Chains A and B, each alone.
Chain A
């Protein structure tokens, strides 16, 4: 049945599927993992960095991009589609600021991106965007936000979420470990993001990229050293926990 209704984006199947949109969601799974966590006073985005070719400039291979001073996003899926969406979002952020003299809210820019994606699921001759995005930031009211969009054009607010390869494994980890205690402290929220990524990242800390936004502060990208520091702290904590556990059993 799928093969007769999956070639044109504008055709529903008899059981109500839009196969092209569902296939676009498979394209998202080909991208590396990205995780977003909304803390009490911080929002964290962590991504699995893909290995860069020897002659490639690392700075041009980025999964985390700022849309404005107070909003940033991480994506998973088709690189070129992401570039187009990010450019449009950045222009919209500035256009909004110039028109109404206020910065965009995180929800506004998310809705803009989601509407853009939805248009491409209803247009003749165009295919959907093959990306999912995690958009984080602080609004003027000081409340942290995390939104996720997908190729169908839906968007939802989340406390913590993951997209890309093995997203389900990371989401399950977050469901078990996301507690009010875990996110009350900025450092704990960062550690939670790194721990979630380490569940699925194949080569440890050197393949992780992290960005945070604190209330009234600009986006901060962690350097490789800072991430290594966090990872080694986590490993120490894990060893200590295991020692305690073996002592208890003895």
Chain B
């Protein structure tokens, strides 16, 4: 136990293990049928559901597997999604093939079935003119590109965050990714979090070439400068040839920003 300056008592973490370990073990073994039922229901709730958004019809994973692909691009976070939808998805016809919904205990709603689109939701699109761009399951010769944003305070550096040229791009790649990256690699300690980390780990384990482009920014909400910071990625092999009209895409991005401006009175 430790006490802070204001007298609050804080439990210090102990690596030797808690004192009452043995008693906890016994309690765990005494599981009732009720516990088992609750656990089964939770497991059912946590299942990942694949469906078509318009018809809400379920999709079998096997149906998605028929879309083989060579390039899989995933955007996580509002700025990465805004960039991808303005620059890539507006140049060419992209068809929605399905969407994945999932629920777990961190979701704010307890209703796993009728979740709104702002919650754990992932939509899959494929390029009609070149169906080899996109896919859901790993095939050989598939290259994965992940785009995401983090706050600049997550970037580990001895410099003060005020002196960093945010927004800036850093890359992290798997062993099998041999192509040149379009920005510098993330320096040690090169730690990434959440879904992009999970995707990269998966690709590393299954020996897929994958690259994560991480934009460090000090504006986490939808912002033009941050979304435009991803522009160098358009020259990478993963996105080559997908962005046709850059000035028009910049205009679309600008409109998206103004349409989505959230007014907050806390900061001026």
**A residues near B, CB below 8 A?**
7-8, 10-11, 22, 25-27, 29-32, 50-53, 56, 61, 63, 75-80, 82, 165-166, 168-169, 200, 202-203
Contacts and interface: CB of A to CB of B under 8 A. Distances in A.
B93 to A, nearest CB: 28
Contact of B4 (A7, A75, A77, A166): A7
B218 A165 contact: yes
A27 B219 CA distance: 11
A82 B267 CA distance: 10
Given A26-B153, A29-B218, A51-B261, A168 B267 contact: no
Interface stretch (B32-40, B106-114, B160-168): B160-168
Contacts of B116: none
A69 B219 CA distance: 35
Given A11-B5, A168-B166, A79 B265 contact: yes
Interface string B136-169: 0000000000000000010000001111111000
B160 A22 contact: yes
A25 B263 contact: no
A77 B263 contact: no
Contacts of B52: none
A31 B8 CA distance: 33
Contacts of B3: none
B160 A63 contact: no
Interface of B: 4-6, 153, 160-166, 218-219, 223-225, 254, 257-258, 261, 263, 265-268
B162 A202 contact: no
Contacts of B153: 26
Contacts of A63: 268
B128 to A, nearest CB: 32
A12 B224 CA distance: 37
A50 to B, nearest CB: 6
Contact of A79 (B254, B258, B268): B268
A61 B257 CA distance: 21
Nearest to B158: A15
A50 B257 contact: no
Nearest to B151: A26
Contacts of A26: 153, 161, 218
Contacts of A56: 263
Contacts of A165: 218-219, 223
Nearest to A53: B263
A166 B268 contact: no
Contacts of B162: 25, 168
A198 to B, nearest CB: 12
A10 B5 contact: yes
A202 B261 CA distance: 11
A51 B268 CA distance: 10
Interface centre among B218, B219, B223, B258 (most CB of A within 10 A): B218
B165 A168 contact: yes
26 contacts: A8-B4, A10-B5, A22-B160, A22-B161, A26-B153, A26-B218, A29-B218, A30-B219, A31-B267, A32-B268, A51-B261, A52-B263, A56-B263, A63-B268, A75-B268, A77-B267, A78-B267, A78-B268, A79-B265, A165-B219, A169-B165, A200-B225, A202-B223, A202-B224, A202-B258, A203-B257
Given A22-B160, A26-B218, A202-B254, A8 B6 contact: yes
Contact of A61 (B224, B254, B268): B268
Given A29-B218, A51-B261, A168-B164, 15 more contacts: A11-B5, A25-B162, A27-B267, A30-B267, A50-B263, A51-B263, A61-B265, A63-B268, A166-B219, A166-B225, A168-B162, A168-B163, A202-B257, A202-B258, A203-B258
Contacts of A169: 165, 225
Given A10-B5, A200-B225, A50 B268 contact: yes
Interface centre among B165, B218, B268 (most CB of A within 10 A): B268
Given A25-B162, A29-B218, A51-B261, A203 B268 contact: no
A82 B258 contact: no
A242 B219 CA distance: 32
Nearest to A50: B268
Contacts of A166: 219, 225
Q: Which 9 A-B pairs have the closest CB atoms?
A: A30-B267, A79-B268, A202-B224, A29-B218, A53-B263, A31-B267, A51-B261, A8-B5, A202-B257
Contacts of B165: 168-169
A155 to B, nearest CB: 16
A56 B166 CA distance: 32
